């Protein structure tokens, strides 16, 4: 977990460029990137050219797409979490027919890297590869609960100005760390609730597995969802150890 890490302006601009391009299905034009990045157009141009030169972006006639260097990193055999988690995600989806998500900690945010949506007409649609707040999302609560003290306190101080509220959240996070279950009852979106559980590997928190859906449909089943998700998280840990 990040401890005393500090934001670096150039690094932030580079990661923002990569994330914007990754979310685009057909590539992103320079003008759109320059408009979205808080930087002079000349600076954005230099960063993009550098990313293209190093294989992190590919220039397809004025549209930029993710390059082979990023794909090589994602294909590294040392991080098989997505493939190990997929069978468990499918099992939970088949069991409950609610939206199932796999997320990772990216800086001070949650990013969903894999989602299986419910097939029901009314359902929760989770945004892929988009930064979500650590609090009060259930996945984010998991990451905060197991984070280092410095990271957690810095985040709470930056996002929750009221000390009384921070103390309530600290108590909630301690309970999550003890029980291994994080719940969001309509805190992010009034009509959506969810439950998340940590995925461990080699004694470290690697990712978070979550189930979410309409509050009216799942509020009374969150304990059932949590028990099933915890069992699948254990199965994922077992697959990672093979």
Residues 30 and 85 in one domain: no
63 and 26 in contact (C-beta within 8 Å)?
yes
What pLDDT digit, counting tens, does each position of 116-165 carry?
999 999 999 998 888 899 999 999 999 999 998 888 999 999 999 999 99
In this structure, the answer to whether residues 176 and 107 fall within a common structural domain is: yes
Parallel, antiparallel, or unpaired: how do β-strands 99-106 and 63-66 relate?
Answer: unpaired
Q: What is the mean pLDDT of the chain?
A: 91
Both 105 and 128 in a single domain? yes
Contact 194, 183 (CB under 8 A): yes
Residues 156, 39 share a domain: no
Q: DSSP letters of 14-38?
A: HHHHHHHHHT-SS-EEHHHHHHHSS
Q: What is the CATH number of the domain that holds 17?
A: 1.10.10.10
Residues 29 and 60 in one domain: yes
* Domain assignment of residue 47, given as a range: 9-74
Residue 3 lies in a domain: no
Structural domain ending residue among the three candidates 39, 74, 109: 74
61-115: pLDDT as tens digits: 889 988 867 766 665 544 589 999 999 999 999 999 999 999 998 878 898 999 9
Residue 121: C-alpha distances to residues 84, 98, 117, 124 (Å): 29, 11, 11, 10
Please give the angle made by the CA atoms of 211, 213 and 214, to the nearest 5 degrees: 160
Same-domain pairing of 218 and 129: yes
Q: How many domains does the chain have?
A: 2
CATH of the domain at 149: 3.30.450.40
Do 65 and 139 fall into the same domain? no
- In a domain? residue 2: no
State pTM to two decimals. 0.73
Residues 64 and 86 in one domain: no
Give the domain-ending residue among 74, 90, 118: 74
Same-domain status, 40 and 141: no
On the question of a cis peptide bond just before residue 136, with omega within 30 degrees of 0, the verdict is yes
For the segment 155-192, what is each residue's pLDDT rounded down to a tens digit?
999 999 999 999 999 999 999 999 999 999 999 999 99
Tokens describing residue 6: 């500090």
Length of the chain: 242
Query: Are residues 119 and 142 part of one domain?
Result: yes
Q: Which of 74, 96, 113 is the last residue of a domain?
A: 74
């Amino acid at each position: 977990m990040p401890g005393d890490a500090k934001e670096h302006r150039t690094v932030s601009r580079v990661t923002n460029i990569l994330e914007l391009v990754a979310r685009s299905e057909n590539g992103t034009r320079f003008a759109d990137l320059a408009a979205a990045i808080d930087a002079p157009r000349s600076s954005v141009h230099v960063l993009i050219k550098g990313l293209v030169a190093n294989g992190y972006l590919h220039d397809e006639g004025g549209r930029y797409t993710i390059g082979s260097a990023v794909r090589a990193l994602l294909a590294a055999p040392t991080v098989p979490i997505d493939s190990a988690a997929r069978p468990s995600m499918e099992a939970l989806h088949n069991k409950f027919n609610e939206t199932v998500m796999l997320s990772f900690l990216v800086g001070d945010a949650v990013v969903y890297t894999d989602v299986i949506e419910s097939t029901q007409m009314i359902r929760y649609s989770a945004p892929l590869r988009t930064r979500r707040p650590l609090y009060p999302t259930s996945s984010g609560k998991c990451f905060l609960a197991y984070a280092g003290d410095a990271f957690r306190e810095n985040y709470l101080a930056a996002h929750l100005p009221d000390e009384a509220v921070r103390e309530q959240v600290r108590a909630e996070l301690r309970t999550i760390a003890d029980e291994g279950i994080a719940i969001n009852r309509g805190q992010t979106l009034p009509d959506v609730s969810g439950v998340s559980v940590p995925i461990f590997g080699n004694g470290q928190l690697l990712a978070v597995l979550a189930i979410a859906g309409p509050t009216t449909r799942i509020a009374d089943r969150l304990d059932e969802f949590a028990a099933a998700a915890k069992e699948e998280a254990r199965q994922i840990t077992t697959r990672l150890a093979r």
